[in-house]
Structure 1
Amino acid sequence: MIFNKNDALQSTLAVNGQTFHYYSLSKAAEQFGNIDKLPNTLKILLENQLRFQDGETTTDADIQALVDWQQDARSDREIGYRPARVLMQDFTGVPGAVDLASMRDAIAKLGGDPNKINPLSPVDLVIDHSVMVDHFGDDSAFKDNVAIEMERNQERYEFLRWTQKAFNNFRVVPPGTGICHQVNLEYLGKTVFTQVSDGQTYAFPDTLVGTDSHTTMINGLGVLG
């Protein structure tokens, strides 16, 4: 993923001998106007727009609309927000994985390269909703229920094992690990992401879009979800 190379909007931070590039809100304020009254959530979206500004999918007008939100605390303009990652649970995530596989099949039939079909943002698919309680009240109940789930939905897990190997930016968290929101809070949330673009390491806020009602629990870590 290539980030905007406008040096006028970037600053650097040295940590343990490594240099990180980041998009400076203070420098953005010099160009687009004061942002002191902009809520923190919109400041995170503003950084996102600075990072992906390319004149087409994200423009100066998109950035200015975020800054101008302070005037009336509202805006009618849509922006091209791109999350750092996507969180899915099995009921919504498996159909998404099937769509990706179908797209690869269609590309192959048209003579194209199916390996070009990948999620643009990192995706974590947590298996939790389909696990049922068939055994309870004894020490082996957890182990037994996970074993039954794997047997009951064997075809699904064979498919998901393939997707994890076939696609870039796609990880599967197996059943029995925990509820997706808890896994998101305790293991997946990074607060600050880093990524190499054109030989430079960029640091930027962890943000996500999730497909479940409690995705916003991640806000407890200061991560916009």
Structure 2
Amino acid sequence: MKVLLENLLRHEDGHTVTKDDIKAVTGWLKTRTSDREIAFRPARVLMQDLTGVPAVVDLAAMRDAMKKLGGNPEKINPLAEVDLVIDHSVMIDNFGHKDSFKKNVEIEYQRNSERYQFLRWGQQAFANFRVVPPGTGICHQVNLEYLAETVWVRKQKDGKKAV
């Protein structure tokens, strides 16, 4: 609950997050019940390819719909930063040689070339969207060793930085 409360306090703007939303969380702490929906805006979303690929498909479909409606499709982007880690995808075809891993990754790219081309497109097309390629490591390891940030600094609409 502390994480939710801190998140609401950070994003309270009187419109998307109100003081009543914050009071609802503090009220829940007393009564353990609430009839309010609580907004949660994470600084970043970590996804595996199993769930991330359908999300990119949805974003692409929303861009197509926006274009058909005459709007600017480039306005469709993830609201928070997204890191999509492709893990557990490299199968073992070669083993017992010093270049086995390299060969297995190459085969993985050949087997799933259309999928990886689509994800490469997504990374180039969408703001706030990064893809970690296969063979880099498992999702949580990659997150802890390369991606995670302890303190997030963001530029606000007024140009000021917020922590």
Question: TM-score w.r.t. structure 1 length?
Answer: 0.67
Structure 1 residue 113 corresponds to structure 2 residue 113: no
Aligned counterparts of 2:119 and 2:38: Cα–Cα separation in 1: 33
Equivalent residue runs for 1:13-162 within 5 Å: 42-72=1-31, 74-76=32-34, 77-162=36-121
Partner of 2:159: 199
Gap runs ≥5 in structure 1 = 1-41, 204-225
Partner of 1:206: none
Number of residue pairs matched by the alignment: 161
Partner of 1:27: none
Aligned-residue RMSD, C-alpha: 1.5
Aligned counterparts of 1:110 and 1:129: Cα–Cα separation in 2: 39
Query: Is the CA contact (8 Å cut-off) linking 1:91 and 1:129 kept in structure 2?
Result: no
| Cα distance per residue 1:34-75 (max 9 Å; x no partner) | xxxxxxxx2332121112223333221221122234424x23
Match of 2:132 among 168, 173, 179: 173
Gap runs ≥5 in structure 2 = none
- For the residue of structure 2 that corresponds to 1:193, the secondary structure is coil
One-letter code of the match for 2:64?
Answer: D
Structure 1 residue 184 corresponds to structure 2 residue 140: no
Question: TM-score w.r.t. structure 2 length?
Answer: 0.91
Deviation at 1:82, TM superposition (A): 0.7
